[in-house]
Every structure is written in structure tokens, then in C-alpha cells.
Amino acid sequence: MKNIIIAFVLFLSSLCFSQEWKLVWSDEFEYEGLPDSTKWSYEVGYIRNNEKQYYTEKRSENARVENGNLVIEARKEEYKDFDYTSASIHTKKTANWTYGRIEVRAKLPTGKGTWPAIWMLGANISDVGWPECGEVDFMENVGYDPERIHFNIHTEAYNHVKGTNKGTSISVNKPYEKFNVYSIEWFEDRIDFYFNYTKTFTFENEYKTWKEWPYFEPEYLIINLAIGGSWGGLQGIDDSIFPQKYFIDYVRVYQDTSEATDIEKKKVNEFGLNGLKNYPNPFNPETTFVFHVPRQQDIRLEIFNLSG
């Protein structure tokens, strides 16, 4: 019976803890008219969550750029058998990203029935569905609780349908009267959520399966103003508040340009694999190797048979 001795050697490349962010995509809304069609597309019609609005396309009453801001306006009006209109714009057809800093400066609408959001979905949603694609909500607000901002993620393992979604919420003084910055910093090992550059929540990669962490695939950005629905409409809709305007000052996407340095070689483990089931090939389906590395590390794994 053979005893094969295996050694793991990890080459750890330490990354700088302060990222060097480079702007790779933005819309500063320094123009007039409809949102830039080279950057934004529209959701159209009824989409989800028992919401009461009809999302329109290329209709300036609901989405326009003026005075240096994108304005998404929800209106009380009859339109295609719906009682409200609004807009939801996204980058699915124009830009998707994997990792980076995504930052939006916005002033929110308010009043019972409003449900503005800034969020991301996996670009593979058409192939794998929701929540398998992964969702990142880095600003949600419901008008009946106007001074609370919510931050959440949704995956196959962690989502609101199962009651397992992960996130937090904070109290914010009148976010409908002033602009605030909502952002995430997305890495291979975590997603950090920020409000005005203060970290509010971290969702960590558990390094289990895609069910917990689908965030190794590209995601696209969505900015929308829903009316009513399964959350926004829990206390009804106050028709006296309309029209309601949602102002976006800018959208900026950065990616990290810092480089790995200080390469260090470490022998992590050495152990035997006994029994004919592991000989001559120790890498059969019954063999599992588990190892951990510190946060902010790139690794290269090498495996040697020390028995020759």
C-alpha cells in the first residue's frame, strides 16, 4: 500500500489596503434632454413586486436630464391601463462590471407609496434567473419610512423570499431634502456598502458555492422609482404627493489599479494520503483540500509529491 506525501505551497501576493481607484465609466448629466442612449436603457411596462406604475421608455415626462441632474419623475396619470407612470433606467445593454467602486449622488423622492432604489443585478439573469444571478441593493427607501435607508444583498442562499437576506439600514436626516452619496466597493472577498463615504455594512465571501456568492460575474446598474408594490405600498399610496421627483447628480464607476507586491512563499501543509483509493492519483473525487488565506491576497497554489 502506498503512502503519498503531498505538500502545498502558496505564493501570496499582498495587495495594498488603500485602493487606487480609476474612473472607468460615468454620467455627470451635463446635458439636456433624454438620458444618454449610449449609456442607459429602459425597463418598460409592469416588471415586478406588484408595483402600480407603468415604466415608460424615452418619455421626458418620466426621465429627463436638466440643470445638471437626471430627473426620474413619478406621475399620477392614466397610462396604458395603469394609474401611475415612472421610469427605471439601467446599463444592462451598455455596461457591466465585475468588482470596483460604484457611486451615485442622489436626492430622493418621498411620500407614502414611493420606493426609489439604486441597485445591481447579475448580467446573466436571463440565463440563470433571480436570485441566482445575485442582487446588490445599495440604496432603498420606502416613503412611509422616509428617513431610513436600506442596504441589502440577495443570492440563492440569502434572499428576502427565504427570509435570509443580509443587510442593514440606517437613519438619515431628510434624504429627500439634500443630496447624499450612496456607493459600494466590490472585491473578490467582500462587498462594502457606504453612505456618504462611511461604511455601513460588509457582505463577505464565505468561499462556499455560487449560492452564497454569485458576485464573480458581471453586474449592471439600475436606478428606478417604483410606486406601491410589496414593500413600497405596505401603507398604501398617497395620491396627493404627486408628481414626485428623484434627482441623480452623477453616477461614477471606478476600478482598482493597484498592483500586487511583496511576493512571499509559504509551505502551508504537508500530509499523507493513505490507501489504494488515493494511489496513484490523489486527486480523485473523494479527496478534498481546504486552506485559508488572509484577506486582500492573490494566491498561486503549487502541489508537490514529496515521495517522488
* 140 classed as catalytic: yes
Residue 247 sits in the same domain as residue 275: no
Q: What is the pLDDT of residues 130-162, one digit of tens each?
A: 999 999 999 999 999 999 999 999 999 999 999
Residue 232 banded pLDDT, cuts 50, 70, 90: very high
Tell whether 125 and 74 lie within a shared domain: yes
- Are residues 268 and 250 part of one domain? no
- Looking at the structure, tell me whether residues 56 and 76 fall in a common domain: yes
Burial 190-212 (b: 16+ CB within 10 A, else e): ebbbbbeeeebbebeeeeeeeeb
Q: Which of 51, 103, 135, 185 is catalytic?
A: 135
Angstrom distances, CA of residue 167 to CA of 47, 149, 225: 24, 11, 21
Boundaries of domain holding 230: 21-256
> How many independent structural domains does the chain possess?
2
- pTM for the whole structure: 0.80
User: 65 with 211, same domain?
Assistant: yes
Q: Let me know if 135 is a catalytic residue.
A: yes
pLDDT tens track for 191-229? 999 999 999 999 999 999 999 999 999 999 999 999 999
Percent of the chain topping pLDDT 90: 77
pLDDT for residue 269 is more than 70: no
Report d(CA 43, CA 90) in Å as an integer.
7
Looking at residues 28-46, what average pLDDT do you find? 98
The pLDDT-based confidence of 258 (bands split at 50, 70, 90) is confident
Per-residue confidence band for 286, with pLDDT thresholds at 50, 70 and 90: low
Residues 10 and 63 in one domain: no
- Cα–Cα–Cα angle for 112, 85, 40, nearest 5°? 110
pLDDT recorded at residue 257: 87
Q: Which member of 43, 73, 103, 140 is catalytic?
A: 140
